[in-house]
Structure 1
């Protein structure tokens, strides 16, 4: 069992778990295999990963990586990974979102690779390195971050008299009203059920969800800052100014392709997804900065970011680390991942990669990454995820769907999600405080 003493030490350091208590030391399940040939299994789902693995295998004859495509984490991938870790037959490597790293750590599913990873630390933005490091131990390589922006139809904005993309949320509301008044079947945007997209909206507003104080977790999904965000979107729902299509659902892309939904506030990695989902509208889309609360002090949200995690029991942790760091920093690998997965690299050298400066035909020849580069310095890097995000995201996804349909009010639903989250933390034996 986790000891109270260890838990206090971790929380005092604003960490998420004490991995020594979870049984994940650097030697746990593995050994120093430097110089030996190694075969590594790698589970993930993102486009481009398989190609990046093939590039690695061509240039590293002593390390073979076998990539196995799984369902995305939220659709069963994480459950499969955790089940395998519990059974002692997990892959060496796994694609794990930053938001889920604390949950994997709490479950004892990650392996400490600090001694192998340390030389690579300076290659990454500090805040992304923090996403793979817990209580002074490192468990994987950062791959990307995910600043958010406004994806919009240039031609239809012009048709409905929107002269420029809304720069603030007040302007967004005014544009939404203008469009819907002109045609009740057309909407400026959508209110989906993606918990992590909503997290990005909260992140932008400084509406923290988790924190630590003393030996207790702080859970604050219904704080005043969160209430501000929830109240804004509830107002748009109440005024019927948004279409409630489920996130990433065929119905959403049908409405976008048909000119019924004119824009989407989403992360950088949405760029290739949108392009492949509404191909017939190529050249009509553009990317603008995410609307902000205060134009004089702009702040932007982040929706995602992932790591290549080393799983507990990996027999070749040094080689697994070598591959993970290579995939995140190698120029050819980054080229593949930027093109196929729309990543915004976590590696600092990757931010000057030529692929980020290429005009995108789908977006009318726009160099869309210029938008994300300008936003990145204004993304709060102090956001903290909690160890119950699997449960929290499930409850929030359900709540967002209900709010979009008008069957319940978003502020009330957030209070319910907070209560369930606090209950889950207590079930895990952790101290909890709420506002």
Structure 2
């Protein structure tokens, strides 16, 4: 991020008002046809960011006005309030706007909400948040922390400097929500984000093509799926899954399903466990046999082409894959896909997890109390959890929402009328927790190398994992 313009942000409000914050001053413009938001800032390394942001904070001084200050302010207790939601997905501010309108219409309303949003990449959301805090400019009232980016707030408990501890504000948080989706947004005993989705893994498959090729979907283990996939590749030149040799998504999910972890609750590195080795071996076997297609750009043009051409007839992915990848990239395949639980290992869980976005609230801001009230209604009530799925396709993270008849009876048109909660309901109680760490980015970078070297045959899985772990521990010790 540029040190010259540390707070050049473009925000879009619910009524299409564009708010440009530059050097602390705000200017409003109206642009009804605006469909995107931009920022004048580029990307920078973390060291460069800290240097630039630190200099920006000094240079900004006490003269910043208009966009607010990050220093302690008295939260409003009622009346009009402008809340800023920063996230990477426009579905989130749309959902919060829906709930804000519901609250605004209540006769006993406490606040009169107005929602504006900043849509940026996951890393830029956190980078801009940290820069705003350090430069003394306005913080977002409700930042969305993508799960891997949240790790940046865990180092030295940076998040505690500006984020509300939700465990203190939400009664029965640990009782009412699944632990698997609380722990990843924790730092010490504090919780700084409520996850928006369970992110449970399931197996997606093209039912029409499985029937056409005479393949049985009644398999039990990963070895069964590999055998089916190898035969399907030989006979029909198709793959029963797609993976990527430069993305640890599948390695991590397969490791978590067996009961492994990247990090321990005490912060120790645990990625060098036998389950990681087994996951790498399974992926390599799958790619070598043709059961799995290795895509260098899973979400790019090659992946979309393989999806629509029927070259890939199955996917090992979390629940968000259906609404945000399959449906968006293959709308003409509506009705042909189905889901079923993952194949099983001899030990471990029925599913795995990958991804997530936890929403927090910044403290000591004019909108703090209002933002907490909104988050509690939208994320901490059964109705809020149900509506979040119906309107935004995110699975409930609150336990009692899973008993709601609207969800149990929900039929997915894209899944050919299948009731997805018949599948998700079988496995939700066995969802593993993914423990995050301040060193997640270090682990991710080094394990990506280990994955690539294993898949290319440069190193054995055992050696690749051992070398990666030694490198990660060395960097953690610095």
TM (norm. structure 2) is: 0.73
Contact between 1:149 and 1:266, CA under 8 Å: does it hold in 2?
yes
Cα deviation, residue 166, structure 1: 3.0
Aligned pairs, how many? 394
Which of 47, 58, 64 matches 2:113? 64
Question: 1:147–1:251: structure 2 CA closer, same or farther, 3 Å change rule?
Answer: same
Does residue 277 (structure 1) correspond to residue 332 (structure 2)? The answer is no
Distance 1:164 1:340, change over 3 A: same
- CA 1:80–1:420: 2 relative to 1, 3 Å: farther
The match for 1:95 is: 144
CA gap of 1:324–1:396, structure 2 versus 1, over 3 A, is farther
Counterparts in 2 of 1:244 and 1:82: CA distance versus 1, 3 Å: farther
- Once the two structures are TM-superposed, the CA of residue 43 in structure 1 deviates from its matched residue by 0.6
2:341 pairs with 1:293: no
Name 2:202's counterpart in structure 1: 149
Contact persistence 1:49–1:337 (CA under 8 A): no
- Distance in 2 between the 1:373 and 1:88 partners? 46
Q: Secondary structure at the match of 2:171?
A: helix
2:361 aligned with 1:310? yes
Q: Do 1:53 and 1:67's aligned partners in 2 also have CA atoms closer than 8 Å?
A: no
* 1:223 corresponds to: 273
Q: Is the contact made by 2:265 and 2:435 (CA closer than 8 Å) also made in structure 1?
A: no
CA distance in 1, matches of 2:459, 2:119: 34
User: Do the aligned partners of 1:154 and 1:284 also contact (CA within 8 Å) in 2?
Assistant: yes
1:366 aligns with 2:414: no
Q: Which of 109, 117, 124 is equivalent to 2:159?
A: 109
User: After superposition, where does 1:177-326 map in structure 2 within 5 Å?
Assistant: 177-183=230-236, 185-192=237-244, 193-212=246-265, 217-245=267-295, 246-273=297-324, 274-294=326-346, 299-311=350-362, 314-326=365-377
* C-alpha displacement of 1:31: 3.7
Structure 1: any 5+ residue segments left out of the alignment? 1-26, 428-435
Distance 1:360 1:301 in 2: 22
The partner residue of 1:86 within 122, 131, 134 is 134
Between the aligned partners of 2:168 and 2:82, the Cα distance in structure 1 is: 18
> Quick one: higher RCO (CA 8 Å, sep 6+), 1 or 2?
1
Per the alignment, residue 166 of structure 1 pairs with 219
CA distance in structure 2 between the partners assigned to 1:256 and 1:45 by the alignment: 24
Post-superposition Cα deviations, 1:211-231, rounded to whole Å, max 9, x if no partner, equal 155xxx321222222111112
1:417 offset after TM fit, Å?
3.9
* Whole-Å separation in 2 of the counterparts to 1:66 and 1:29: 22
Structure 1 residues 127 and 284, CA, compared in 2 at 3 Å: closer, same or farther?
closer
Q: Distance in 1 between matches of 2:97 and 2:313?
A: 38
Contact 1:30 1:316 in 2 (8 A): no
Query: Which residue of structure 1 aligns with residue 57 of structure 2?
Result: none
8 Å Cα contact 1:271-1:342 kept in structure 2: no
- Which of 380, 395, 401 aligns to 1:350? It is 401
Pair 1:165–1:95, CA change in 2 (3 A): farther
Say if 2:469 is the partner of 1:421. no
Hey, what's the Cα distance between the residues in 1 that align with 2:235 and 2:431? Answer: 35
Q: Counterpart of 1:81 in 2: which secondary structure?
A: helix
- For the 8 Å contact 2:258–2:349, the answer to whether it is kept is no
Any stretches of 5+ residues in structure 2 without a counterpart?
1-69, 105-110
* Aligned counterpart for 1:175 among listed residues 212, 216, 228: 228
- Residue 362 of structure 1 aligns to a residue whose secondary structure is coil
Residue 431 of structure 1: aligned partner: none
1:7-46 residue pairs with structure 2 within 5 A? 29-35=72-78, 37-46=80-89
For the aligned residue pairs, the C-alpha RMSD in angstroms reads 3.0
Tell me the distance in 1 between the aligned counterparts of 2:474 and 2:366.
Answer: 36
> 1:372-406, CA deviations, whole angstroms, 9 ceiling, x for partnerless residues?
1101122234x422112233334445654565566
